[in-house]
Structure 1
Amino acid sequence: MFHYIVITASACYGYQDQGVMIAAANQDLWQGGAVCGKYFQVTCTGALNQGVPHPCTSTPTVTVMITDFCPPPGCKGNLDLSHEAFSTIADPSAGGVKISYQQYAIQYVFFKFCFDTFYWRVAGC
């Protein structure tokens, strides 16, 4: 897994801002763009190179949203994290780290609020 700093138009959202905790997926994960907008929990598990033997931070897990495609042969890992996401889990000077990852299901909870007064009541409450 590697990281990038320069932001360009993404394959999923163009220039629409999706925040900073974002990532690009490799060809195996990409599935023709079906992974766009999906969330992954990524954990730093160790070093990829001898230069930084202990790259993982004390907060080695981050949740990122897939916003882009990392095409071969330039994509050297499964995920290419934004600089902000990478620096949360690892020392940026490491360049790349070993990771474990899993798709993260976001569950939404919806509430129904009803307001009424002596004079009126909202329909459907």
Structure 2
Amino acid sequence: MIAAASDAIWDNRAACGRMYKVTCTGATNAGVAQPCKGTSVVVKIVDYCPPPGCRATIDLSQEAFAAIADLNAGKIDIDYVQV
């Protein structure tokens, strides 16, 4: 399971290789009212998600996103902690 990091945690490449436990906490839009599956996923930061395209703290791979939320949501609120 992999992800990209935004400036918020990228830390001038220091975040590359770090592991984060990510949990879906809720929806960000009206697309899917209850997107969360009630699970968490541990992802490895392998890339940088630069602005302005990156609007998230952690951009999950499709596989990682699907493990914690409905893919149709597109974007979700998360909690994350380095592990």
Q: Assess same fold via TM > 0.5.
A: yes
RMSD: 0.7
Q: Which amino acid aligns with 2:64?
A: A
SS across alignment from 1:29: helix
**Larger of the two Rg values belongs to structure:** 1
Aligned length: 83
Match in the other structure for 1:40: 20
Q: Which has the higher contact order (CA 8 A, sep 6+)?
A: 2
- Superposition deviation, residue 52 in structure 1: 0.2
Deviations 1:5-54 (A, max 9, x none): xxxxxxxxxxxxxxxx0000001211110011100000000001111000
Match for 1:95 among 53, 74, 79?
74
SS across alignment from 1:76: coil
- Superposition deviation, residue 76 in structure 1: 1.1
Match in the other structure for 1:51: 31
Q: Which amino acid aligns with 2:55?
A: K
What is the correspondence of 1:97-116 to structure 2 with a 5 Å cutoff?
97-104=76-83
Q: For structure 2, list consecutive stretches of 5 or more residues without a partner in the other structure.
A: none
What is the correspondence of 1:1-125 to structure 2 with a 5 Å cutoff?
21-58=1-38, 60-104=39-83
Q: Which amino acid aligns with 1:28?
A: A
After superposing on structure 2, the runs of 4+ consecutive aligned residues of structure 1 that deviate more than 6 Å are none
Match in the other structure for 1:123: none
SS across alignment from 1:32: coil
Task: State TM-score, norm by structure 2.
Answer: 0.97
Q: For structure 1, list consecutive stretches of 5 or more residues without a partner in the other structure.
A: 1-20, 105-125
